[in-house]
Each structure stands twice: as C-alpha cells, then as structure tokens.
Structure 1
Amino acid sequence: MTTNQESGTRPDLSSPSVRAIYSRLLGYVRPYWKAFVVAALCMVFTAATESTFPAVMNFLLDKGFKAPSPEMVWMIPLGLVGLFFVRGIAVFCSGYVMSWITSNVVMTLRREMFAKLLRLPTRYYADNSPGALISKVVFDTNNISDASSNGIITMIRESLTLVGLLGYLLWLDWKLTLIALSVGPLVITTVQRFGKRLRDASQRGYESMGQITHILEEATGAHKVVKIFGGQSYEKKRFMEATARYRRAQMREAIPASVTVPITHLASAISVAIIIFIALYDVSHNGKTSVGSFVGFITGLLMLLAPAKRLTEVNNTITRGVAAAESIFKLLDLAPEADEGKKELGRAHGDVRFEDVQFSYPDSERIALAGIDIDVKAGETIALVGASGSGKSTLVSLLPRFYSPQSGRILIDGVDIAELSLASLRENISLVSQDVVLFNDSVAANIAYGSADIHGEEDIIAAARAANAWGFIEAMPEGLATPVGSNGVKISGGQRQRLAIARALLKNAPILILDEATSALDTESERLVQAALSVLMQGRTTFVIAHRLSTIESADRILVMDRGRVVEAGRHAELLALGGRYAHLHQLQFQSEAAPE
C-alpha cells in the first residue's frame, strides 16, 4: 500500500488503498447489520441529546434565570436527569452491541486466518517463523478489535454529536459558527501530514512484535539446548534487541499520535478566542448579542471541543487498525497450495513411478533433483541413501506434493499425481519421520489424529499393539486418555516413534514414507521400533530414508543419491560387490561403529 494518508479526523476514504482496506474490514460487520442498526440508533439518540444543556442554559439566562411557572422549577431538573438517564442506557447499549459485533468479527478473522494457514504451501512455512504467524493471528487482530469497536463507536457517535452541536450553533449565530469552522483546514492538514507516518510506524511495530514472538517461541521451545549450551545471555540479548526495536516503533507511533491533539486544541482555542472577542465587541458597542445567546453559544462551542478531540484521537486507533487489517488481509490473500487436480484415486494399488523429474527450490540456483527415473512396484521397499543434501528428503517430499517438480511426472498406479486432488492423493500416503510431531492431547487422540470419527477405541488399541506401544500405554496413569504434553514431551523418544507408527498403522495407507524413523534411538528402543516398522511395512510400497545402513539391508532396492541424481541402484549385496559409493559409505559406517569407545 503506497497511499496511506488520512484526512480530517478519520482515514482518507478517497485514498484507494485505505478505502479498500477499511471497506473490506467493514464487510465483516455486514452479517450483523441488524445489531449495528440498533447501535447506530442509540448513538444517534446520544448525539441528539448533546445540545440539550447549552439550549437549557440559553433559555434560562434569557428568562433572567427564572422559571416561567412554579412547575418548571422541578420539571426542568427532573427532565434533565431523566433525559441523561435514558441517554446513559443508549450509551451502554451502543457500547455493548458494538463490542458483541467486534468480538464476532475478530473471531471470524482469526478462524479465516487459521484456515488459511492450514492450506498454505510448504514453502510459506519455510520462509516465515511460527512466532511471526502467531503474532498476526493474536496481536494484529487485537488492533482490529480496537478499530472496529472503540474506533467505529467514537467515529459515529462523535461525528453525529459534532453535526448536532454545529446545527445548534448555526441556528444561534451562523457567522460566529463559520468563524469557528475556519480552523478546520489547519486540523485537516495536520492529520494528513502525520497520518502516513503513524501507519508506517504501526506496520513496523507489527513486524517487531512478530520478531518478539518468534524469539519467545524459539527460546521456550529449545529451553534444554539454551540451558545446556549456556545460551541464556545470547537469547537475552536477542530479546532485548527485539523489544528495543518494538519500543522504537512505538515511539515513532507516539510522535504523530501525540502531536495532532495539542495542535487541534491550539487551533480550537484560537477560534474560541476570536469568537469571544467578536461577541464581547458586539455586546459592548452594538448590544446585538443577548447574554443567553452568548452563554449558550460559548457552552455549545466548548462542548464541541470534546467530540472534536475524541475524533482526532480515534484517528490514531483507526490508522493502527487499518495497518493491522492490511497485514491480516495480506495473509488471507495468499494463494493456497495448488489443488487443481480433479481425479479421485480411491485406494491405490501402490505402483509409483518418477519420470525424468527435475526440481529446484524457489530462489535457489542449485538443482535439487535432476532427471530422476524410478519405477517402484506395489509393495516394494525402496531405500534412499546418500550424503546430506543429496536429494533424499526432497524426493519423498514431491510424492505427497509438498512441492511440485519443474519438469517430469510422478505417477501412482499410472495416474499423474498432478491430476489428483490433494485429499485423494494424501489419503494414500503415511509418513513416519525422525522429528515425530505429537499434539498436546491424549495418547488416543494422537494415534487417531485425523480419523477419530472413523476409528473407535478397539481400532486404536489394535494399532498400538501392532506398533509395540500398548505395553507402555497400558502402564500410563490414564491409559489412552493420558496427555502426552507439547510434542510428546512427557514420553521418551522411542515411545513417540511408536505412537507415530501406530498412527500410520491406523491410517492404513498403501504408500509409506519413513524418513530416518529410527535415528537417534537407543538400542532397545530401536529394536522395538524396527519390529513395529516391519509390521507397518508389510504389503505397503515403502520409501525409506536412512543414514544407518544396517537398517535397510533387507530393502528390495537401494538407491544411492548424490547431488540430486541416482548414481547407484541395487540390493545390498549387489552394491557391496560393485565396490562403488554405497560400498564406501558402508565401509565408513562399519569402521565408525566398530571403533573402540
């Protein structure tokens, strides 16, 4: 957005960018238009009663501060009390209803943002930290809340109040009123000049808050690493720098936000001074102005300053809200991961073929995969080995379409996966990786993740038994209902792996990806996990990525990768006899494992 100016005491709706953002934001209010009408009517009533007090003062002073009749002595005070009692109810209703509308708007935005996050491509998560995304969903929407509730209430109510008081002042003395309005251009120019600076500063503030959230998320998530490597000072320094950037952004906001109010007050004071001079001059020399009219006019004019001040201040709130809305809408407008396939595969037989597949990561000149041709029969186990960066994980990431190849095709049962819907494709694939992801929920919920409405407790127990997990689950205090903590922090690494295997068993997909599933486990845990994997792999087309070559000796075929190419292929014994790269890797690993400790 390049044109960010505000005009007068509200955002410049003649600016296409601001008008588009604010109109889109108000579109979320449209489903609650009936409640909004109720709130608006309450605000109209509130504004209409604002000029009552100066009118009463005008009336009483012109009557010599005498009641026209004895009944008016008590009727006027009681009438004022009754009027302002009803006015108080109207103020409460408008505030409550607008808060109800705003809470629904914020809830809807957060739900849409979360739904969008679930559908964004893998690349987006590689480019953006979780902390920055959390900041958008949590903090940016809070500023939307302020702009949508307090901002709209103040803008509507005070604008109507302003109009009502101006109407009353024009009726009393239109010439003096026009003099009062002469300060308008000064106020407008001031707000225009500082509006863009405020919005730009708000954007920097949101970015800084994202950095703060990111550092918090990293430091708390990696607290063991921080402690064992003595990283407290480093993390503290990072956090101090991030909070200092946020403070500087806040101060950049404070300058334009603070300067508009005193300038508005000064301009208003000059206007009042001129009017008092003219009124006193008329009374002294011409006797034109009555005391009641003069007091009523001055009272109304002074009352005019309050809504004018609040409108100037609410401009800052709305400006921040527009900046937050811009940040939110940028996220909502991101294209979801491509899902143009229309075909439904059903349950796949499991034949997989890579045909001359080439792939490079976005913004990278290096080719990650080059000319990959692999033909895998249903039920076959394919092991991928090679140095880090050789393309193993990239290859299996293409299968569920986390990324799409620049050229070539990947086929399942003879069908190009680009022609399949994502849901149909991914229903046929299970994944067990080294970095097991568990949710802060019960054991049962983690095993049945994504299919809890299909599988009952008996199915979950059967999967847990097959994964060699039922023994430790049964020993837990609450069994299947036991919470595992954030990412399974309450259980061991081997137990986490077995829960992930149970999850894959329960899904029962015909194609399986094992990404270093036994890495970094102790001998006993590895034995149990390997036994569970043997059950899981039966009858499934399996792609195994492994650094520990002893775990893939029984694979139907081993593919050795280097710099994005398959340089060797065959069974374990064949590759050893070949004496090539695989034999070299095997020798190095054997020597490492055989070395005395």
Structure 2
Amino acid sequence: MEKALSPSSPRPPRATALDHRYQGEHPIRTLAYLLRPDRPRLLAAVAVFAVRHSPLWLLPLITANIIDVVVEHRPIAELWYNAAVLGFMFAVNFPSAVLYSRLMSTTIRRLSTTLRSALCRRMQELSIGYHARVSSGVLHAKVVRDVDTIEESLKQTAEVGLGAITTMLGGLIVIGIRAPAFLPVFLVVVPAAAILIRVLRGRLRSRNETFRKEIELLSSRVTEMTSLIHITRAHGLENAALGRVDGVLDRVRTAGFRLDLLNGRVSSLAWNVLNALGVCCLIGAALVAYYGWLPVTAGDVVMLSTFFTTMTAATTALMGLAPTMTRGLESVRSIGEVLQAPDLESNDGKREVAAVTGAFEFRRVDFTYEGSDEPSVTELDLTVRPGETIALVGPSGAGKSTVLNLLIGFIRPTGGSILLDGVDTADLDLRSYRRFLSVVPQESMLFAGTIRENVAYGLADEVDEETLRSALEAANAWEFVSRMPDGVDTVVGQHGARLSGGQRQRLAIARALIRDPRVLVLDEATSALDGRSEALVQEALGRLMRGRTVFVVAHRLSTIRDADRIVVMEGGRVREIGTHEELLALDGLYRQLQPGQAA
C-alpha cells in the first residue's frame, strides 16, 4: 500500500451540555433547561397563541352585546362595532396560527435534535461493558420513541394546555367585568364539574391497559411468527403458527369490543352531566334576569351559559393532559438513564497518542467481569515487540477474547497494567490510540451503503480512486468489485446482505489496509469461510499483517502456525508460549488443541 493513508480521523464533536447537566433532577427542570435558549421564542409563541385563540373567549361577549342591541334596541352602530371586532379576530387568526406553528415547531424540533444528538454522543462515550448489558433495541427506542414521545407531549401540552388556559383566563376576566356576581359560581362549579367528568373517564384506564397488553402480545406473536417462518415452512407447521396468532386475535377483539362499549357509556354519561350542568346554569341565570335579582341582561344569560360550557370543557381538557404529560416526563427520565449512566470510557485530560511503534507489555494483568466470581484473565505477563505476530489459542472460555478487549481498550484491567510503547494505557486517550489500530472480526460489520463508503468509512474526504483501488486489490476484493454493475459505488445492502461471507471479509481487510494501522487485531477472521474464500482471505491477511504488530485469535492451524509466538491459554492463565514447532515438541496443551491437523 504505497499510498495508504496515515491514520488520522477527526475527533468527534464534544457532547452537548445536557450530558453534564442531567444529574437525576426532576424532568421538568431538565425540560426547562433544554428550553432556556428558546425562551424569547416561547414567550412570543404564547402571545401569538393568545391572539389566535381570542375568538373562543371573546365570541360569547360579542354575542351577548349583539343580543342586547337587538333586545334593548340600542344604537345600530354598536352592532357594526361588534361585527368589526369579530371580523378583525377572524382576519388575524390565520397569520397568527402560521406564526405560532413556526415559533413552536422551531423550538420543539431543536429540542428533539439536541436530545437525540446528546444520546448518540453519549452512546459513543459509554463503555463496551455498558453496551453488553443494555440491549441495542432499548437504546434505539430511547433515541427514537422516547424523544418522539417528548415531542408529542410538548406539542399537545402547548396546543391543548395554552388553549384551555387562555379560554379560562379570558372567560373569567370577561365575567369579572361584565357579571362579577357570577364569578364565585364559576370558580367553584366549573372545576367541580371538570373533576366529576374526569372521575367518570378514569374508569377507562384499566380497560385501556388491558387492551394495550393484548396488542403488545399480538405484536410479540407476529414478530415470533415472521422470525420463525423458515422453520414453520420446513416442518409444515403453518396452521399451528396461525392458530397461535388467531388465539391472540380473538382476545384483542374481545378486549377492544369491551373497551368500545365502556367508551360509549362513559362518553354518553359525561355528555349528559356536562350539558345538564350547562342547562342548570342557563336556567339559573335566566331566573336571576327574569326576577331582576341582579342587573343581568338577556345577552348576559347567553354569555354565562356559553362560558360555562366552554370553561368546563377547557378545565376537563387541562386535566386530561395529565397522562400525556406523564408519558413525556417518563420519557425524559428514560433518556436520563443513558445521559447520567456512569459507565463511561474516561479519556478527558489524558495524553493523546501521536504515534505508535506497536510495543506492548502486559504486567500481571487481571480482569474480572462485573457480577462474576471468577476472573477471566489472571496474572497475564507478556511482552510484545513492534512488528511481532502473537497468536492466542486455547479452549472456549480461556480468556482470549478478554485479552483482545483489554488490548483494544474496551475494558480496563482490574489489576496490573498494560503498557503501549512504554506508557501505561490508563494514562492515554484511547480514542487517539485506536486511530492506529484496526480490527478484522469473525463477522465483518458492513452498513447499508456503497463499497466505497464501507471501505473508506470515516476517511471519505481523504481517499482518492487510486488509493481505494490499491486497498481493494491488496485485499483480493477488486476481482469481484470490478465485476459489479456499479463497481465501488455498488450498494451492499443491510449488513452486507448482497455479498458472500468471503466478500464481506475481504472488504473488512480493505478497510483495515486503507488506514495503514500499526496494530492489527484478527479475531477468528477466517473461521466462518469455505476453503476457496479462506485461501483468498488468508492471502490478503498476509499482506495486511506485513510490518505490523498483530494479535490473532484462531482455531485453525493454518492461521496461526506462522505466528512469531503462540500464547496458549486455559482458565484465564498463560500455560505455554512458543513457536508452532516449539509447542508441538512440548507435547502439552497446544498439541491437544490440534487434533487431526497436520504439523
């Protein structure tokens, strides 16, 4: 690789301030902190919303004025004055609605982007141990579903909450000015009516929960059916699979039917309660006006009745926001589990690695996984010279993968130390060290992009066509890439689904070659390949390993016999070290691990 790139990749941007801000505080405080940069925009949005929403609480007053003009034969100019006010409100409604949507959407979208960015950056900082414990599906749900829930919660709270609050405040102000004697009635009866309706609707909670659980079970059954479709078809079990799903479908139908019936009953009861109270308010106001107990006009009677209905509905809507707000705040807590997770790979303030020669020294290294009583690696002593190839062999559970994880820096020793070029890795910024390291795993991970994007991942702006082709040729990949319809711009599919295992592995080698690493880790890189693919990959690996410090984990003798030294491990300890010939001559554990393989 004459034009192989020097190992340089841009440092990731610093995590957002939210990473350091969220310390288990109440979710409302977290949201207030997140929304702080948009406070002027939010205040403007509230003001614009009040203008947009004004018809709902001004219309009853204008209606009352018009009725009084007709009933009391007031000057006709008052009619036109009220009509002009009404026309102005309708005229400004559309532009104010657009402006409100623009202001509020900008705020909420910025918030969701900040949260998703903070989560993704935090995931990059969390240790591999954390990712081993926490399902990727859970983390995906936090980035997508939880942030989406917060978005929807804020939108509904802003729309419904502001609408209810402006309606209630506007109505109370108008009543206080126009008919102050009725103000105490509204302050007591309206909340009481809303609470009563809320209690009626509260009966729906258990039925909704039952229906949700049945839907979740149905989702689980359908996912199970689709994932096992090959086994089902192979054994002729289609009817059995459908029977499992049909049983859940019947339960969903029954639960849904019961929920619909209860919804109908509660809605009807709530409607009757609300309208009965409204009629009572109308009759009461009419009696007051008829007998002249208070100075109330015919228009006031209509206004009071209308306000009672609208304000009761507003109070009910405000109380109905509780579940939505609860879901949103719970999602903030859910995101906080990641943002405040302490299991971080700490690199801040540590020495950056500017160059690597590839000399390693393991000094009595111990490592025990969290929750385990037995150490995975015990008193590992090993000195590796620059450019040396070290093979790690041993039975399953010997500690080989743990040594590789320690080498890469995914985990830290629980005892002893690892030195890189004479410096303790505990004092190094491991992100800068990994720029000089490449890993070729057993199953190469490709994303759903082009061959070019996969091979030059992270280096796209620095890789020219000649360098890219040289890497592919050295990896024995050019022979199949050149035959593809779009060449290096061919899309490989999700996880490289359009390629064979050998082709994916050769692209992984090309990805390593193009970075020209000083340290190379090969983790069972040929174990899943057929004979022809293995030969091509082995030839490519030979080019990749040349002049580099290499650590190899493999079971096949052909992969390890040419290593400078072979480290034989068992139970987390080093049992034997030597060349292939030396270890065979010992007639120890190494020979026992090679049954049926020619020397």
Deviating more after overlay: 501-510 vs 196-205: 196-205
Aligned to 1:313: 320
Matches within 5 A, 1:516-531: 516-531=524-539
> How far apart in 2 are the matches of 1:125 and 1:169?
60
> How far apart in 1 are the matches of 2:254 and 2:191?
31
Seen in structure 2, the aligned counterparts of structure 1 residues 386 and 206 have a Cα distance that, compared at 3 Å, is farther
Aligned to 1:4: none
Aligned to 1:350: 358
**What does the per-residue CA deviation read over 1:450-482, in whole Å, with 9 as the maximum and x for residues that have no partner?**
222333222111111111111111111111111
> How far apart in 2 are the matches of 1:194 and 1:538?
77
**Structure 2 residue runs without a partner (length 5+):** 1-22
Aligned to 1:12: none
Aligned to 2:36: 30
Say whether the 8 Å CA contact 2:436–2:518 is kept in structure 1.
yes
Cα deviation for residue 24 of structure 1 reads 1.7
Cα deviation for residue 370 of structure 1 reads 1.0
Aligned to 1:155: 161
Cα deviation for residue 321 of structure 1 reads 1.5
> How far apart in 1 are the matches of 2:190 and 2:80?
41
> How far apart in 2 are the matches of 1:474 and 1:274?
84
Say whether the 8 Å CA contact 1:398–1:405 is kept in structure 2.
yes
Matched, 1:337 2:330: no
Seen in structure 2, the aligned counterparts of structure 1 residues 284 and 200 have a Cα distance that, compared at 3 Å, is closer
Seen in structure 2, the aligned counterparts of structure 1 residues 169 and 76 have a Cα distance that, compared at 3 Å, is closer
Seen in structure 2, the aligned counterparts of structure 1 residues 253 and 26 have a Cα distance that, compared at 3 Å, is farther
Aligned to 1:10: none
Cα deviation for residue 531 of structure 1 reads 0.8
Amino acid at match of 1:477: P
Cα deviation for residue 409 of structure 1 reads 0.5
Deviating more after overlay: 148-157 vs 463-472: 148-157
Aligned to 2:486: 478
- Provide the secondary structure at the position in 2 that maps to 1:435: coil
Amino acid at match of 1:172: R
Q: 2:309 aligns with which of 289, 302, 320?
A: 302
Q: 1:384 aligns with which of 375, 380, 392?
A: 392
Seen in structure 2, the aligned counterparts of structure 1 residues 29 and 202 have a Cα distance that, compared at 3 Å, is farther
Q: 1:52 aligns with which of 55, 58, 79?
A: 58
> How far apart in 2 are the matches of 1:360 and 1:249?
49
**What does the per-residue CA deviation read over 1:175-233, in whole Å, with 9 as the maximum and x for residues that have no partner?**
43212222466578789999999999999999999999999999989987887788989
Aligned to 2:3: none
> How far apart in 1 are the matches of 2:148 and 2:459?
34
Matched, 1:407 2:415: yes
Say whether the 8 Å CA contact 1:344–1:424 is kept in structure 2.
yes
TM-score normalised by structure 1 residue count: 0.83
- Of structures 1 and 2, the one with the larger relative CO (CA 8 A, separation 6+) is 2
Say whether the 8 Å CA contact 1:473–1:480 is kept in structure 2.
yes
Matched, 1:169 2:175: yes
Amino acid at match of 1:58: A
**Structure 1 residue runs without a partner (length 5+):** 1-16, 592-597
Aligned to 2:434: 426
**What does the per-residue CA deviation read over 1:335-365, in whole Å, with 9 as the maximum and x for residues that have no partner?**
3322246112222111111111111111222
Deviating more after overlay: 369-378 vs 181-190: 181-190
Aligned to 2:19: none
Aligned to 1:584: 592
Say whether the 8 Å CA contact 1:131–1:215 is kept in structure 2.
no
Q: 1:534 aligns with which of 538, 542, 562?
A: 542
Matches within 5 A, 1:439-588: 439-588=447-596
Matches within 5 A, 1:75-114: 76-114=82-120
- Provide the secondary structure at the position in 2 that maps to 1:587: coil
Matched, 1:372 2:368: no
Say whether the 8 Å CA contact 1:434–1:516 is kept in structure 2.
yes
Say whether the 8 Å CA contact 1:392–1:545 is kept in structure 2.
yes
Deviating more after overlay: 221-230 vs 367-376: 221-230
Seen in structure 2, the aligned counterparts of structure 1 residues 524 and 234 have a Cα distance that, compared at 3 Å, is farther
Q: 2:334 aligns with which of 317, 327, 345?
A: 327
Say whether the 8 Å CA contact 1:382–1:555 is kept in structure 2.
yes
**What does the per-residue CA deviation read over 1:544-595, in whole Å, with 9 as the maximum and x for residues that have no partner?**
101112321111111111111111111111111111111111135569xxxx
- Provide the secondary structure at the position in 1 that maps to 2:408: coil
> How far apart in 1 are the matches of 2:248 and 2:129?
25
> How far apart in 2 are the matches of 1:249 and 1:426?
55
Seen in structure 2, the aligned counterparts of structure 1 residues 196 and 273 have a Cα distance that, compared at 3 Å, is closer
Aligned to 1:140: 146
Deviating more after overlay: 107-116 vs 217-226: 217-226
Seen in structure 2, the aligned counterparts of structure 1 residues 38 and 244 have a Cα distance that, compared at 3 Å, is farther
Say whether the 8 Å CA contact 1:264–1:309 is kept in structure 2.
no
Cα deviation for residue 33 of structure 1 reads 3.4
- Provide the secondary structure at the position in 2 that maps to 1:29: helix
Cα deviation for residue 533 of structure 1 reads 0.7
Seen in structure 2, the aligned counterparts of structure 1 residues 582 and 118 have a Cα distance that, compared at 3 Å, is same
**What does the per-residue CA deviation read over 1:43-102, in whole Å, with 9 as the maximum and x for residues that have no partner?**
122344433222223323334436644555555445423322323432343234323332
Amino acid at match of 1:333: Q
Cα deviation for residue 540 of structure 1 reads 1.0
Matched, 1:292 2:299: yes
- Provide the secondary structure at the position in 1 that maps to 2:593: helix
**When the two structures are aligned, how many residues end up with a matched partner?**
575
Amino acid at match of 1:452: A
Deviating more after overlay: 442-451 vs 212-221: 212-221
> How far apart in 1 are the matches of 2:211 and 2:334?
11
Deviating more after overlay: 312-321 vs 191-200: 191-200
Matched, 1:416 2:424: yes
Deviating more after overlay: 419-428 vs 208-217: 208-217
> How far apart in 2 are the matches of 1:469 and 1:397?
28
Cα deviation for residue 382 of structure 1 reads 0.9
Cα deviation for residue 318 of structure 1 reads 2.0
**What does the per-residue CA deviation read over 1:86-144, in whole Å, with 9 as the maximum and x for residues that have no partner?**
23432343234323332232222222222222222112221222222222222222211
Say whether the 8 Å CA contact 2:66–2:82 is kept in structure 1.
no
Seen in structure 2, the aligned counterparts of structure 1 residues 99 and 415 have a Cα distance that, compared at 3 Å, is same
> How far apart in 1 are the matches of 2:166 and 2:559?
76
Seen in structure 2, the aligned counterparts of structure 1 residues 127 and 242 have a Cα distance that, compared at 3 Å, is farther
- Provide the secondary structure at the position in 2 that maps to 1:382: strand
- Provide the secondary structure at the position in 1 that maps to 2:595: helix
Identity of aligned residues (%): 33
> How far apart in 2 are the matches of 1:526 and 1:378?
27
Cα deviation for residue 312 of structure 1 reads 2.7
Amino acid at match of 1:473: V
Aligned to 1:436: 444
- Provide the secondary structure at the position in 1 that maps to 2:484: coil
Deviating more after overlay: 68-77 vs 406-415: 68-77
> How far apart in 1 are the matches of 2:365 and 2:253?
50
Deviating more after overlay: 76-85 vs 510-519: 76-85
> How far apart in 1 are the matches of 2:411 and 2:252?
35
